[in-house]
Amino acid sequence: MTIDVGIVGLASFYGPAYAERAAARPDVTVAGVVPGDATGEQLAALGRPTPDAFAAAYDCPVYDDLDELLSDDAVDGVVVASRTTRRAADAARVLRADRPVLTAKPPAATAEGARRIAAAAAEADVPAVTTSPARFDDAVMGLAHRVRTGAVGDVLRVHASIRHDRVPEAGIEANAEHGPQEAGAAYAMAFYTADALLWLIDAVPQRVYAEYANLNTPHSVHPDLGTATVRFEDGTLGTMTMTYATDCREPLGNWEFEAVGTDGTIRTRHEGYEGIHWHSNAAGRRTELFGRTQSPILDEQFAAFLETVRNGVESGAAKLSPDQAVEVMELCEAWERAAATRTVETVSN
């Protein structure tokens, strides 16, 4: 079965990135693109393809709007990477047209937008998947499996850190995630860390204290540094850091996760090393290494989405599910509110 995938939005990294992955597969074609409202000059400044270049590369039509794309009955699923302030509306429109959707990260500019997607997915009973790359990293998956099967005992604390290159100044006014009116790093980057805490801690987040700052990207209105502490209802503590102010991703990697439990500690980071699990048992203390192959994380994310399209699975079956995405966005919002008010904020749930 050949799957025809539509692409919405070229001003995000994810639209062109998923198109490349579609074209690399013999069972997938790029059915068409809705470029969005960024000009060719703005797209070039962002390092993204212009509509004409995209159409030539993938031998596909360019559509003026989403309804035109959805009028093509051959379109089986849609990648929505439009600007964050309209991403939820576009995703909901795709779902109402009975097509599965894979959104870029974050799924919307607000938690309310994520809730709109979840409601549309539930009503249509169509899969809505949000990109969450860390969940497809082999060492992170190994860490999560070990934590959730009791390898560190009862979880006491989880730390999640995300590091990334600074947002470039060139083309920033049209950047789908980081433009002046868009969600910014408090959602596009903090999404990683909030998702990690909710994935690894089996309890409901209760309150958050946090800080944000912009110290190294004066051309952006969004923060480039952040830290937060999350108290969960069972007493577990989570900590999150977001660093968007360095251009030296390697060898530091993108993310680092650590879980501390009553019977051990386990950590991994997104770089060319293995996961490390220290623990003690009746035989004494020992250190166990596991992982690491450099997982093709977006390839795996896209393949998981294609599986939902191919098999017609229920709306909440694929990761990151729409309900999970809502919880992540709610934690991101609590972080942002706590940083703005300098107070402890309650997490919506």
Spatial distance between the Cα atoms of 6 and 103, rounded to a whole number of angstroms: 12
Between 62 and 283, whose confidence is greater? 62
Spatial distance between the Cα atoms of 195 and 265, rounded to a whole number of angstroms: 20
pLDDT at 277 over 80: no
Residue 285: pLDDT band with limits 50, 70, 90: low
Spatial distance between the Cα atoms of 302 and 178, rounded to a whole number of angstroms: 23
R_g over Cα of the chain: 20
The neighbouring-strand residues paired with 161 are: 241, 256
The whole-model pTM stands at 0.92
Per DSSP, helices labelled H in the chain are: 14-23, 40-46, 51-58, 66-70, 84-96, 111-124, 138-148, 185-188, 190-200, 249-252, 297-311, 322-341
pLDDT of residue 11: 98
Spatial distance between the Cα atoms of 328 and 193, rounded to a whole number of angstroms: 9
Which domains, ranges and CATH numbers included, belong to the chain? 3-131+298-319 (3.40.50.720), 134-296+329-346 (3.30.360.10)
Mean pLDDT of 308-323: 81
Spatial distance between the Cα atoms of 183 and 244, rounded to a whole number of angstroms: 14
pLDDT tens, 191-224?
Answer: 999 999 999 999 999 999 999 999 999 999 999 9
Mean pLDDT of 142-168: 94
Between 78 and 290, whose confidence is greater? 78
| Number of alpha carbons in the 13 Å side-chain half-sphere of residue 179 | 20
pLDDT at 169 over 60: yes
pLDDT tens, 33-54?
Answer: 999 999 999 999 999 999 999 9
Q: Nearest 5°: CA angle at 330, between 239 and 244?
A: 55
pLDDT of residue 278: 72
